[in-house]
């Protein structure tokens, strides 16, 4: 039995391409089974982003698809992987393809909340305090090694990640749209790291595992490195999407169709995490919303104007793995959140 | 020496250690002039106290239950057995046998061997209990229900039933492995390449647009959908079911 979220499955439907966009107004019976939303621009832009990033990153197509899904679903992403698998590079390149302000924060154990959010400085000329915005005030924020900062600095991100505002000295500052946090962390290193609080983990739309490349991909990496004599020029990656473009594409995603049985399917999957005997903590309703928004974005990326159970199953591990906690017994047995999510999906009938 | 001084001043037979060895010990005179009346407890009060529950030292004999009598008998019997030489030998080999049994069970468990088959139990097909809330496709009378949906003008439902009928046919023919958690794309993946896969892909695409995409169907469009659905199953009519060999 193939896994329900197999990445190398049969390509779904006929995807419209920039050269062959989907017809907006069907006329005959043959063309009626086509998206009622014109995804030509969305498809063209996301394909261009893939190509730009593909100039430097080899492989990682599934990861890139999930990153684009998060971008369209307006959600933050936590990238987890061992050192050297291009987590930071992938985040930097995605940021480069967007024509929006970008900042990078390297989290360290001595980082203070004011180093992230900003601080009020006394201006002698005005005899008053003036707020100096911190690096979080950007549209794409790359937080590298997020688990190296202590809990109080992590807590500083709660408000800005969820409410998109920063409150300092009684004044609330609103972030400009789009606002996307891309964070990286290393799962194996324990020395000098702090486990992210559950409240913060819940604020990430996806937690994505960045794996090792295949042998063929690694050979390609080596060839590219050899030919380029070791240098990686990020300037070859050109910006593709402006803030306004991104907002327009996100609006298309918000208007996706979702049949009521699909909503029930999402609720059942998330609800099952709260009753599963291998789980100490289940997922919150925020997880259901994340799964819904992600599925809508993924459907749009795949050229459909409606969500299918396939989209839900594909995204469930990425949405749920950081929002659930295994029982100590299951952890000692070597169980993983992904296994439990897979089991849960297998127990719920696909709406059809 | 204060102790020696005290002995000299009083009449008491107190002496130093040296004197003990040399002089005889003097005894104190017994006072027989004082008369001490014996104290007796109040008889009424004694009776009253004796009537109280706290002073009832004799425990009432409790009746043993059947279960307690059984255990008493069992332990007595086991004790009797182990007191003989033959009994001790039986205990020893019984203990070794139990230990060996536990070890074998642990090894089989670690190797994940299904030992239920030894006792004639069929191995479980799936470890997961499926929550089948929808209809069982093997029990639905598809021709009747499709005809009813068509008569009611509910082309969306008719399309769905037609698609489920395809899945049933493919399952009966052993071409796909029906499981409630599988998606349409998983079934498509199970079919081997060829005309059947292409026609099933088209039927799946149409079904998804109608069912998940809520595409409103006209009567003409529905006729095309039904024709495409029949095109999937028509080549399978009269075909002998094959043993399922999923591609993955």
User: Does B124 fall in a domain?
Assistant: no
| Contact flag A349-B214 (C-beta cutoff 8 Å) | no
- The Cα A229–Cα A243 span in angstroms is 35
Query: What pLDDT does B241 receive?
Result: 62
Alpha carbon distances (Å) from A149 to A75, A108, A192, A322, B73: 22, 5, 9, 18, 68
Q: Given A209, A237, A255, which residue is the final one in a domain? A: A255
CATH of the domain at A352: 1.10.8.80
* B131 vs A343, A347, A351: nearest CB: A347
Regarding whether B148 and B225 lie in a shared domain, the answer is yes
Chain B residues with CB under 8 Å of A348 CB are 131, 181
Do B108 and B153 belong together in one domain?
A: no
- Residue A27 inside a domain? The answer is no
Q: Quick one: pLDDT at residue A230? A: 63
Average model confidence (pLDDT) across chain A: 86
Q: Which of B189, B208, B224 sits opposite A9 (nearest CB)?
A: B189
> Based on the domain organization, do B151 and B203 belong to the same domain?
yes
Q: Is the pLDDT of residue B161 over 80?
A: yes
| Exposure b/e, A222-260, CB count within 10 A at least 16 = b | eeeeeeeeeeeeeeebeebbeeeebeebbebbeebbbbe
Q: Residue B76: give the domain boundaries.
A: 66-119
Q: What is the mean pLDDT of residues A4-20?
A: 41
Q: Mean per-residue pLDDT for A179-201?
A: 86
* pLDDT of amino acid A302: 93
Question: What was the pLDDT predicted at B243?
Answer: 52
* A152 and A56, same domain (yes or no): yes
Q: Are residues A182 and A55 in the same domain?
A: yes
Instruction: Examine residue B226 and state whether it is found in any structural domain, yes or no.
Output: yes
Kindly state whether residues A141 and A281 are assigned to the same domain: no
* Domain final residue pick, A221, A237, A255: A255
Distance CA A174, CA A142 (A): 19
Give the nearest chain B residue to A311 (CA atoms): B183
pLDDT tens across B68-83, in order? 999 999 998 888 877 8
Q: Is the pLDDT of residue B228 over 70?
A: yes
- B226 and B154 co-located in one domain: yes
Cross-chain Cβ contact A6/B248 below 8 Å: yes
**Residues of chain B neighbouring A259 (CB-CB closer than 8 A):** 211-214
**Three-class DSSP category at A168:** strand
Looking at the fold, whether A344 and A281 belong to one and the same domain comes out as yes
- Torsion angle, alpha carbons of B66, B67, B71, B74, to 10: 60
Q: What is the pLDDT, as a whole number, of residue B58?
A: 75
Evaluate if residue B235 carries a pLDDT over 60. yes
The more confidently predicted of residues B236 and A26 is B236
Question: Mind telling me how many Å the CA of A111 is from chain B's nearest CA?
Answer: 47
Q: Tell me, what's the pLDDT at B123? A: 46
Give B215's contacts in chain A (Cβ within 8 Å). Answer: 32-33
pLDDT at B18: 56
Higher pLDDT, B139 or A146: A146
Distance of CA A162 to the CA centre of its chain: 14
Which tens digits make up the pLDDT trace of A268-305? 999 999 999 999 999 999 999 999 999 999 999 999 99
- For residue A77, what pLDDT band results from cuts at 50, 70 and 90? very high
For residue A4, is it within any domain? no
The verdict on B208 touching A (C-beta cutoff 8 Å) is yes
Contacts of B177 in chain A (CB under 8 A): 1
**Closest CA–CA distance from residue B116 to any residue of chain A (Å):** 23
Which one of A236, A255, A274 terminates a domain? Answer: A255
For A127-140, the pLDDT digits (tens) are 888 899 999 999 99
Query: C-alpha distances in angstroms, A186 versus A60, A82, A193, A318, B155?
Result: 18, 5, 9, 17, 53
Question: Are A100 and A197 within one domain?
Answer: yes
Provide, as residue numbers in chain A, all residues whose Cβ is less than 8 Å from the Cβ of B188. 9-10
pLDDT in tens, A217-274: 888 888 888 877 666 778 888 999 999 999 999 999 999 999 999 999 999 999 999 9
- Please report whether residue B39 resides in a domain: no
Nearest CA-CA partner of A12 in A350, A309, A264, A246? A309
Question: What distance in Å separates the CA atoms of residue A215 and residue A276, rounded to the nearest whole number?
Answer: 38
Residue B140 burial class via C-beta count within 10 angstroms: exposed 0-12, middle 13-18, buried 19 and up: middle
A249 vs A7, higher pLDDT: A249
CA distance A165 to chain B (A): 36
The pLDDT of residue B21: 60
- CATH value at residue A150: 3.40.50.300
- Tens of pLDDT along A14-33? 434 444 444 444 444 444 78
Rounded CA separation B17/A34 (Å)? 125
Look at residue A21 in the predicted model and tell me its pLDDT.
Answer: 44
Provide the ipTM.
0.78
Main-chain dihedrals φ then ψ at residue B68, nearest 5 degrees:
-70, -40
The whole-number average pLDDT for the span A98-117 is 91
Q: Measure CB to CB from residue B180 to each of A29, A305, A349 and give the nearest one.
A: A349
Asked whether residue B1 carries a pLDDT value surpassing 60, the answer given is no
Nearest by CB to residue B220, choosing from A2, A29, A304, is: A29
- A242: in domain: yes
CB A45 within 8 A of CB A241: yes
Sign of CA dihedral A164, A166, A172, A175: negative
A38: containing domain: 34-255
Question: In this structure, is residue B180 part of a structural domain?
Answer: yes
In the predicted model, what is the mean pLDDT of chain B?
79
Question: How much is the pLDDT for B211?
Answer: 92
Q: Is there a domain that residue A55 lies in?
A: yes
Residue A29 forms contact with B (CB below 8 Å) = yes
Which pLDDT tens digit goes with each residue over B20-61? Answer: 566 667 788 888 888 888 888 899 999 999 888 888 877 767
Count of positions (residues) in chain A:
352
B chain contacts of residue A307, beta-carbon cutoff 8 Å: 212
The pLDDT of residue B87 is 80
Going through chain A in order, the beta strands assigned E by DSSP cover 76-80, 98-99, 102-106, 118-123, 128-133, 140-144, 165-168, 171-174, 180-185, 204-209, 241-242, 279-281, 325-326
pLDDT mean over A51-66: 89
| Number of Cβ pairs < 8 A linking chain A and chain B | 96
- Examine the domain organization and report whether B187 and B112 are in the same domain: no
Q: Residue A84: what pLDDT?
A: 85
Q: How many domains does chain A have?
A: 2
pLDDT in tens, A138-177: 999 999 999 999 888 888 888 899 899 999 888 899 998 8
Check CB contact under 8 Å for B184 and A308.
yes
Residues A83 and A232 in one domain: yes
């Amino acid at each position: 039995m193939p896994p329900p979220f197999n990445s190398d499955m049969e390509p779904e439907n006929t995807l419209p391409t920039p050269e062959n966009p989907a017809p907006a107004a069907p006329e005959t019976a043959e063309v009626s089974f086509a998206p009622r939303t014109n995804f030509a621009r969305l498809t063209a832009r996301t394909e261009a982003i893939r190509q730009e990033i593909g100039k430097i990153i080899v492989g990682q197509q599934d990861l890139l698809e999930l990153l684009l899904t998060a971008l369209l679903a307006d959600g933050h992403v936590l990238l987890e992987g061992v050192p050297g698998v291009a987590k930071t590079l992938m985040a930097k390149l995605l940021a480069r393809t967007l024509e929006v302000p970008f900042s990078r924060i390297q989290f360290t154990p001595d980082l203070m909340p004011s180093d992230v959010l900003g601080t009020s400085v006394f201006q002698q000329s005005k005899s008053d305090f003036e707020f100096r915005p911190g690096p979080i005030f950007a549209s794409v924020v790359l937080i590298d090694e997020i688990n190296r900062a202590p809990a109080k600095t992590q807590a500083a991100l709660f408000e800005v990640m969820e409410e998109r505002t920063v409150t300092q000295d009684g004044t609330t500052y609103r972030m400009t749209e789009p606002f996307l946090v891309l964070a990286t962390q290393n799962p194996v290193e324990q020395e000098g790291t702090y486990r992210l609080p559950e409240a913060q983990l819940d604020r990430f739309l996806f937690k994505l595992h960045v794996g090792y490349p295949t042998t063929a991909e690694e050979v390609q990496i080596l060839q590219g490195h050899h030919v380029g004599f070791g240098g990686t020029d990020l300037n070859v990656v050109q910006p593709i999407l402006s803030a306004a473009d991104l907002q327009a594409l996100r609006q298309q995603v918000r208007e996706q169709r979702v049949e009521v049985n699909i909503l029930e399917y999402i609720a059942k999957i998330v609800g099952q995490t709260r009753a599963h005997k291998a789980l100490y903590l289940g997922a919150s309703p925020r997880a259901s919303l994340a799964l819904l928004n992600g599925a809508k974005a993924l459907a749009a990326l795949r050229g459909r104007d409606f969500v299918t159970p396939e989209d839900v199953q594909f995204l469930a591990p990425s949405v749920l793995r950081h929002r659930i906690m295994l029982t100590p017994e299951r952890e000692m047995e070597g169980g993983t959140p992904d296994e439990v999510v897979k089991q849960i999906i297998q127990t719920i009938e696909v709406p059809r | 020496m204060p102790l020696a001084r005290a002995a000299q001043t009083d009449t008491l037979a107190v002496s130093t250690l040296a004197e003990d060895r040399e002089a005889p010990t003097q005894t104190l005179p017994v006072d027989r002039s004082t008369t001490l009346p014996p104290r007796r407890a109040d008889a009424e009060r004694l009776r009253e106290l004796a009537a109280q529950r706290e002073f009832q030292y004799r425990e009432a004999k409790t009746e043993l239950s059947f279960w307690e009598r059984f255990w008493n008998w069992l332990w007595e019997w086991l004790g009797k057995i182990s007191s003989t030489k033959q009994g001790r030998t039986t205990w020893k080999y019984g203990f070794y046998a139990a230990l060996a049994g536990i070890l074998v069970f642990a090894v089989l468990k670690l190797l994940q061997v299904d030992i239920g088959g030894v006792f004639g139990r069929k191995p479980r097909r799936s470890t997961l209990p499926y929550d089948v809330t929808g209809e069982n496709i093997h029990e639905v009378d598809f021709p009747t229900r499709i005809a009813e949906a068509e008569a009611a003008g509910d082309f969306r439902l008719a399309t769905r039933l037609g698609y489920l009928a395809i899945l049933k046919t493919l399952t009966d023919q052993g071409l796909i492995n029906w499981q409630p958690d599988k998606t349409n794309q998983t079934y498509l993946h199970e079919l081997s390449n060829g005309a059947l896969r292409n026609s099933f892909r088209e039927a799946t695409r149409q079904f998804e647009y109608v069912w998940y995409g809520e595409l409103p169907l006209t009567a003409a469009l529905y006729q095309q959908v039904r024709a495409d659905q029949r095109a999937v199953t028509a080549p399978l009519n009269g075909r002998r079911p094959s043993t399922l060999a999923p591609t993955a």
